[in-house]
Amino acid sequence: MNMGASTTAPWREASANQTRLAFGQALLAIGERESRAVVLSADTQDLLGIRPWIANWPDRFIEVGIAEQNAIGIASGLATTGLHPYVCAYAPFIAARSMEQIRNDVAYANQRVVIGAAASGISLGVAGGTHHALEDLALMRSMPNMTVIVPADVNEAYHATLATLDIDGPVYLRLGGRTPEAPVTEDSAGFTLGRASRLRPGNDVTVIACGAMVELALKASDALKAEGIDARVLNMHTIKPLDREAILQAAAETSGIVTAEEHRFAGGLGGAVAELLAVERPTPMRMVAMPDEFAVVGPTVRLREKYGMSAEAIVAACKSLVG
């Protein structure tokens, strides 16, 4: 599903370079187009900017409160009646606390439920390890029937949310927190499910990134270019279904692949890429990701620096592959 966007669109300004707010803005467009759409909030009316939805369609809104398990159960029940529920929640809680309900009520039953999971990764840095979502991609992509999307900026978040109108099954949309996310995609790029976008050409090495790490991958590519190394950058916004063709082509045309994600090493984007290559085309790889530990408390930007979520780390990983 491809959709263009106007640079003067009101939703863009309202999104304030934050994917969580772009999700809320896209819901307004969905509300106009699809009368079966309903929104459920797990105490997230401001987090995802859904107060305009409540004002427009109060009879199509349910505030569940801090009860993520109930939110998923209710959403699944609504889906059985033919409604299209959108669950607005915090990523660390909806992914972990309600995993049983997501597995049994949504994924197993293959219900048309879209989960907007905001404040992912370490974007809630000051709240500490309990509020960090660093295992959600591993959990969600292991669920049969589940589509997993990680937008890189507000443009992609908005159009990915609109694309869920055409997905007949469960969707996990991983969104950021209150730290602004720089624009990295073209306004007219739209969104195509399961198809990575090539943001930089290059035949020396490939960087495959998602979410907040896409911006850093582009910076790394520019830095490498100055040193005579052409680093291809793939924005892998869809973790499931994975763009097998783009990955295998990169493996064939470049000397190695670096994955970059704000998620633990285990089971995320890097794991998905490694699983594919191990079977289809063994390829030298490096992974830039969060270590196997609970992150400390601190401001988001400082935490990212501490744990190597940086362009410099991507540059070093690329250099280790090209020699």
Q: % helix / strand / coil in the chain, to the nearest 5?
A: 45, 20, 40
The domain segmentation of the chain, as residue ranges, is 10-174, 197-322
User: Would the pLDDT of 4 be above 70?
Assistant: no
Q: What digits encode the pLDDT tens for the residues 204-218?
A: 999 999 999 999 999
In which residue are the tokens 């916004």 written?
A: 237
Q: Which CATH number fits domain 197-322: 3.30.360.10, 3.40.50.920, 3.50.50.60, 3.40.50.1820?
A: 3.40.50.920
User: Would the pLDDT of 36 be above 70?
Assistant: yes
Q: Which CATH number fits domain 10-174: 1.20.1070.10, 2.20.25.90, 3.40.50.2020, 3.40.50.970?
A: 3.40.50.970
Compute the average pLDDT of residues 225-242: 98
Compute the average pLDDT of residues 173-192: 92
User: Quick one: which of 158, 222, 220, 213 has its CA closest to 181?
Assistant: 213
In which residue are the tokens 């070093």 written?
A: 316
In this structure, are residues 194 and 6 in contact, taking their beta carbons and an 8 Å threshold? no
Bridge partners (DSSP) listed for residue 257: 206, 285
In which residue are the tokens 């620096």 written?
A: 305
Q: What digits encode the pLDDT tens for the residues 118-130?
A: 999 999 999 999 9
Residues 6+ apart with CB under 8 A from 253: 203, 206, 232
Q: What percent of the chain has pLDDT over 90?
A: 95
Compute the average pLDDT of residues 303-318: 97
In this structure, are residues 212 and 181 in contact, taking their beta carbons and an 8 Å threshold? yes
User: Would the pLDDT of 8 be above 80?
Assistant: no
Q: What digits encode the pLDDT tens for the residues 187-206?
A: 877 899 999 999 999 999 99
User: Quick one: which of 276, 262, 268 has its CA closest to 314?
Assistant: 262
The β-bridge relationship of strands 231-235 and 197-200 is antiparallel
The DSSP result for 114-138, as a single string, is EEEEES-BTTTGGG-GGG-BSSHHH
Compute the average pLDDT of residues 32-56: 98
Q: Helix, strand, or coil here: 110?
A: coil
Residues 6+ apart with CB under 8 A from 78: 38, 40, 85
Q: What digits encode the pLDDT tens for the residues 268-278?
A: 999 999 999 99
Q: Helix, strand, or coil here: 212?
A: coil
pLDDT of amino acid 190: 81
* 1 confidence band (pLDDT: 50, 70, 90): very low
Residues 6+ apart with CB under 8 A from 257: 205, 206, 207, 208, 247, 250, 251, 273, 277, 283, 284, 285, 286, 321
Q: Does 197-322 match 10-174 at the fold level?
A: yes
CA distance 116 to 131: 16
Query: Of how many residues is the chain composed?
Result: 323
